[in-house]
Structure 1
Amino acid sequence: MRKSTGAEYGRLLNLVYIISDMVIFLSFLYTLYIPDSLGATHIPIKLIGASQMAKPDRNTFQNRLNEMMNSIRQNILKGVYKPGDFLPAETALADQFLLSKNSVRLVLEKLVDDGLILKIPRVGTQVASRPQQTVVRFGVYPSLYEEANIGQLIARFQEEHPHIRIEPLKLPYFQAESVKQLLQSGIVDVITLNHIDYAHFRENDNLHVLEHYPEPQEVYPFLNDLFATEEGTVAVRPFIFSPVILCYNKEHFRQRRLFEPDSSWDWHDLRDALTKVSSPDRFGLFFHLSSYTRWPIFFLQNRAEFRRDENGRLSIEDPDMLGLLRFIRELIHEDGLFPLVMSFGEHDAEKLFKQQKVSVILTTYYRLNQLIDADFPFDIAQLPKSRTHDTQLLTTGIAVGSMSARKDEARCFADYLLSEPSQSFIRRHSFSLPANKWITESAQPELPNKPARLELHRELIPHYATQDRLKLTFDEIQLLGGCLGQYFSRLVDEDGLIRLFNKQLKP
């Protein structure tokens, strides 16, 4: 049987609605005059009360259709109705959901098209045998459960595609070699991949383990550029993104009668404010010093680039390019400005900020989701400037493994995550920024305590930069991050940092 298209389904709904109007109107006329059993003229009877005769509006009618559809679908998927069971009669369903029999039949036809039920003439409606589910293994960064509501998206996908079961597997961060091996062995079918891990795939000629796609036109072009291949395709399709931003406690600034950060601020302006906003029971600033998504900013804002000599040793072209790095090191050692004495993890900045133990943090739109239920006002601002106003751009995409044995189902799931409904769901229910430009710029988060400058990301687009500009490999980025621990601890100076870096480089 040919399946109904969405347009046909809509036309059928309108037709049913018109028929329902006619039936209600004729019923109304019939209740006014009932033929006398003796053939006399029609006898007027008492009008039925308005509350009994009120016709449901179009929204109510659509809601009842949806309620019936979702109720039967969920009962089948949860096993309340098992394969071979018969659904209640159409008249019983009509009474239960306050619909006409024609409307009930319309819903049942849709469930037949979905393969969930069978219509047996003169017998009834039977729950169909469910085809064996195909399991798609999804390698996912754990933070995406909060940053992109990935758990809810998986549930919504499985509801619409009951023949596919998604099995999430936790992916490690910044361990691209391990992720590649999972793909090569066919252990995972679909993965999330950030731009930093993607750089490792590209540098080691491992893009063949990923399916390639034409550049998606609905995505911000600068995101496609991050995952572009030499053939003009993308090996990873952008999913969500964020610049690194400043987030500050508005009450702390107000208490000290301080102006809030704006785009004219440089790092000296920020330090001046931090000295005034900090107090014995709170620090001024915090961010994770060794994070690959934070420290590169202090190189990028000063246009620092590494150059390589004939022996492969690295150096900075201009020592002044490390000026901002030196400034940050001195700032974090100023008394009361930065919590150096404690050991913190990657995501503790937002926890301290939420506890109002720190007034300003370097964060991302991803991590703002930690603050959805904060009980104080906060806002965001552009990072202070040095030589430039650049900030680090972070992005995560969706990739399908080229060696997957379940490629059709894997593509179906990947397409769903990147679809407008899924991107809209992320936009409405989180602070994260979907890669779909239309969704990000036309929809708004439906969340409390929304920062006033939440749309700041649009102003920052000319200042987006990535660690690629440092001209370091993925492995060198990791190595330099480790060396910076000694630099920030004042165990080495700038020259010592470069010497330490070169000493640890593999020949």
Structure 2
Amino acid sequence: MAGKPKRSTFRTRLEDMVTTLQSDIVTGKLQPGDFLPSELTLAEQFQLSKNSVRKGLELLLDQEMIEKAPRIGTRVVGTGRNEKLTLKFGYYPTLTLEANLLELVEKFQQQHPHIVVQMIPLSNSYFSQNVKEAMERDGLDLITLNTQNYETVTETGAVSDILEPLERKNSTYPFLSGPFTKDNHLYVQPFIFSPIVLCYNRDHFKEAALPEPDSSWSWNDVQKAALALTQKHDRIGILFHLQSINRWPLFLLQNKVVFERDQHGKLIFNNDNFRKAMQTSLGLFEGMNPDTVYMSENDSDAERFFLQQKTSMIVTSYYSLNHLRNAEFNYDIAPLPYSLEAKTQLLIIGLAVIKSSKQKEAAQAMLDFLVSNEAQLHIRKTTLTIPSVKTAAEWIGEETLARPSRFFMYRDIIPTFSFYTDMNVTFHELETMRHILKLYWARLDDFETVCRRLRDAY
């Protein structure tokens, strides 16, 4: 017959009960006015005697977190004498525009007045260091991650040692979780997403008596239209930041490029599909201003020129459409033109709880809020970004923003959504390629020379 449980076991269970109830109250899972489970239920849940449960509740009474309601039960009062806790949230600064993040954080803090959210903007250079060490050094609790930065995080160690596994949300689009899943565990909760699309000035097309782009357009069609729309010393037909990690790989995806590797694991470059992809990217700006390919320093430049009506078409994302909220002309979007097949790159930004966080419950509470229907619907109504929750993204009602007439087009092109990882290549390998391809796009290297440089680099 087993002996009686040790006193330390009872003490551990009692501490577990008290800590759990404190956490539920502090993080807002239990709100003021809510009633705690009965003493009997708590006794069964934590395998304690009713006397032990009462001792634990007395501690919460002393902290002014609960109160006894005679013949009714035990009611939550608030966070009591507990100090406010600080939640450190590492975020992409662009989200203040793309997701109205500051408004969402304010709403969260109104609902959880005991949690003070310290916003820590993350620069591009943040992910060029050992991210695990940086997150621990900065004491981050919650962080935003896109697919590229998630890959960088996982390169610093086992993802299970860096990020907390998360519960899958059935409310989100199912295709968003794949890139953030490892060994059947989800480590980043999808927050917002966007495919890359073509955006065009409808007034310019009307003036030139040109048909507007649709899903049948190839890059050849775009080039012909761009030449017709270009006006010397006034505007160019098409512009985008070709060197962006979210732009030039589109031509690889659309030309069915899947990189093979040799026996040493090095990438093999000299293949026909890779050649065709590079020729398409190089020839797109043929006949226009020769400096067009270098007119932009980053993705946002294209939206700025488009807003000034200095370009008629841009390759962009739903995220970047937010720069066009105050456009004083008619514009719309169309599926990305195709090469060998219709493909577009899918961009996803998600939320992750840091394994080393000392405020995991609060971090999870904020994550849950940001992917709640309330927050996701706020994104849908107040931005041009697509939220990850399907019902919020597809909400139909009175609009407060001017939207492209084809805003819901993304639902029709879901089968074309692709990731750079589909090409058997990593983010860092693509970055190395990009640096070497600069000379090719400047017409200072031919394709054979580029392939030789790429082989030497690997």
Give the TM-score range, shorter chain: 0.7 to 0.9
Amino acid at match of 1:115: G
1:385 aligns with 2:338: yes
Q: Judge conservation of contact 2:241–2:296 (CA < 8 Å) in 1.
A: no
Could you tell me which of 63, 69, 85 is aligned with 1:134?
Answer: 85
Amino acid at match of 1:480: M
Q: Judge conservation of contact 2:131–2:153 (CA < 8 Å) in 1.
A: no
- The aligned residue for residue 494 of structure 1 is 447
CA distance in 2, matches of 1:429, 1:445: 11
Q: Judge conservation of contact 2:270–2:451 (CA < 8 Å) in 1.
A: no
Shift of 1:330: 2.0
**Percentage of identical aligned residues:** 35
Relative to structure 2, which stretch is displaced further, 373-382 or 431-440?
431-440
1:115 aligns with 2:78: yes
Q: 1:213-362 counterparts in 2 under 5 A? A: 213-230=166-183, 232-280=184-232, 281-316=234-269, 318-336=271-289, 339-340=292-293, 342=295, 344-362=297-315
- The aligned residue for residue 7 of structure 2 is none
Shift of 1:374: 0.5
What SS is found at the alignment partner of 1:213? Answer: coil
What SS is found at the alignment partner of 2:357? Answer: coil
Q: 1:88-167 counterparts in 2 under 5 A? A: 115=78, 131-167=82-118
Q: Judge conservation of contact 1:283–1:338 (CA < 8 Å) in 2.
A: no
Which deviations, in whole Å up to 9, do the C-alpha atoms of 1:171-215 show, x marking residues without a partner?
A: 123726443322233521100000111122334543121000132
CA distance in 1, matches of 2:398, 2:145: 24
CA distance in 1, matches of 2:113, 2:352: 22
Amino acid at match of 2:305: L
TM-score, length of structure 1 as denominator length: 0.72
Amino acid at match of 1:275: L
Q: Judge conservation of contact 1:285–1:337 (CA < 8 Å) in 2.
A: no
CA distance in 1, matches of 2:398, 2:318: 12
Q: Judge conservation of contact 1:429–1:445 (CA < 8 Å) in 2.
A: no
- The aligned residue for residue 62 of structure 1 is none
CA distance in 1, matches of 2:325, 2:174: 29
Amino acid at match of 2:194: S
Q: Judge conservation of contact 2:204–2:312 (CA < 8 Å) in 1.
A: yes
Amino acid at match of 2:345: Q
Q: In structure 1, list runs of 5 or more residues that go unmatched.
A: 7-111, 117-128
Shift of 1:135: 0.8
CA distance in 1, matches of 2:190, 2:228: 41
CA distance in 2, matches of 1:445, 1:401: 38
CA distance in 1, matches of 2:81, 2:374: 26
What SS is found at the alignment partner of 2:375? Answer: helix
Could you tell me which of 399, 402, 405 is aligned with 1:446?
Answer: 399
Q: Could you say which structure has the greater relative contact order, defined with CA pairs below 8 angstroms and 6 or more residues apart?
A: 2
Shift of 1:337: 8.0
CA distance in 2, matches of 1:322, 1:222: 30
Shift of 1:346: 3.1
1:371 aligns with 2:334: no
Shift of 1:336: 3.6
Q: Judge conservation of contact 2:241–2:302 (CA < 8 Å) in 1.
A: yes
Q: Judge conservation of contact 2:267–2:455 (CA < 8 Å) in 1.
A: yes
Which deviations, in whole Å up to 9, do the C-alpha atoms of 1:455-507 show, x marking residues without a partner?
A: 010011000000001211232122112222112111222222222222223xx
Q: 1:168-207 counterparts in 2 under 5 A? A: 168-173=119-124, 175=127, 177-185=129-137, 187-207=139-159
Note the aligned Cα RMSD (angstroms): 2.3
CA distance in 1, matches of 2:282, 2:397: 38
Shift of 1:283: 0.7
CA distance in 2, matches of 1:380, 1:335: 22
Q: In structure 2, list runs of 5 or more residues that go unmatched.
A: 1-29, 36-74
Amino acid at match of 2:92: Y
Shift of 1:397: 0.3
Question: Cα 1:5–1:133, aligned 2, differ >3 Å: closer, same or farther?
Answer: closer
Structure with bigger gyration radius: 1
Q: Judge conservation of contact 1:186–1:404 (CA < 8 Å) in 2.
A: no
CA distance in 2, matches of 1:204, 1:307: 25
1:432 aligns with 2:385: yes
Shift of 1:335: 2.4
CA distance in 2, matches of 1:487, 1:469: 24
Equivalent residue pairs, number: 387
CA distance in 2, matches of 1:250, 1:2: 51
Shift of 1:411: 1.3
Q: Judge conservation of contact 1:142–1:171 (CA < 8 Å) in 2.
A: yes
Q: 1:6-155 counterparts in 2 under 5 A? A: 115=78, 131-155=82-106
TM-score, length of structure 2 as denominator length: 0.80
Q: Judge conservation of contact 1:331–1:337 (CA < 8 Å) in 2.
A: no
- The aligned residue for residue 93 of structure 1 is none
Question: Cα 1:343–1:224, aligned 2, differ >3 Å: closer, same or farther?
Answer: closer
